[in-house]
């Protein structure tokens, strides 16, 4: 049962990473060549650079998720390696959130020039989503640390 659920999660992590990789290779290279309005094409470059830079911690977090799933498969879920993986996922999510907060003024400029206020809401979604992931990883990290502490106390008693 556990092996099947981690296999499902591995497939899900792979399916999450594939569209981001495809967007980085095909979608984001097409956008500066074909802007919607050539008058503010220069504003798109900081947004694209921020999106490309945010892909680095995103793929690091996916790799850490694979490491975490591997430790679960090896029955080492309650280990320091799992805590370290969750800590790295948390830092990657905070980094992604910070990058998208830095990009937000440029998104505001594009939304103001294009008269598209919904673009600002779309621009805040990655920042808030990655912050939720960071908080979730922090909570899991703390719970796992407490479980490891309780387990080590019980090993000393027995």
- Compute the half-sphere exposure of residue 115: CA atoms within 13 Å on the CB side of its CA: 0
User: How far is C-alpha 116 from the chain's CA centre?
Assistant: 26
Mean of pLDDT over the chain: 87
> Helices in 33-117 by DSSP H: which ranges?
41-73, 80-114
pLDDT at 74: 86
Q: At how many degrees (to 10) do helices 118-157 and 80-114 cross?
A: 170
What's the rounded Cα separation, in Å, for the pair 121 and 89? 25
CA 36 from centroid of its chain's CA atoms: 28
pLDDT, residue 1, reads 44
Q: What is the pTM of this model?
A: 0.86
Task: Tell the residue number behind the tokens 């981690």, with chain if given.
Answer: 6
Give, for 119, the enclosing helix (H) or strand (E): helix 118-157
Tell me the mean pLDDT per 10 residues along the chain, length 158: 75 92 84 73 85 94 93 85 93 96 90 80 91 95 90 74
DSSP 32: T
pLDDT of 158: 59
- 148 phi/psi in degrees, rounded to 5: -65, -40
């Amino acid at each position: 049962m556990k092996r099947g659920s981690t296999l499902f999660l591995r497939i899900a992590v792979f399916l999450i990473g594939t569209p981001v990789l495809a967007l980085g290779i095909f979608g984001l290279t097409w956008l500066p060549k074909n802007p919607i309005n050539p008058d503010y094409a220069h504003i798109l470059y900081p947004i694209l650079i921020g999106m490309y830079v945010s892909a680095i911690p995103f793929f690091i977090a996916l790799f850490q998720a694979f490491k975490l799933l591997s430790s679960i498969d090896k029955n080492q879920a309650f280990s320091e390696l799992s805590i370290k993986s969750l800590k790295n996922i948390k830092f990657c999510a905070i980094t992604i959130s910070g990058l998208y907060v830095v990009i937000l003024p440029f998104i505001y400029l594009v939304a103001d020039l294009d008269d598209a206020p919904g673009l600002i809401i779309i621009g805040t979604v990655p920042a808030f989503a990655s912050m939720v992931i960071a908080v979730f990883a922090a909570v899991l990290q703390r719970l796992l640390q407490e479980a490891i502490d309780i387990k080590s106390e019980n090993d000393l008693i027995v």
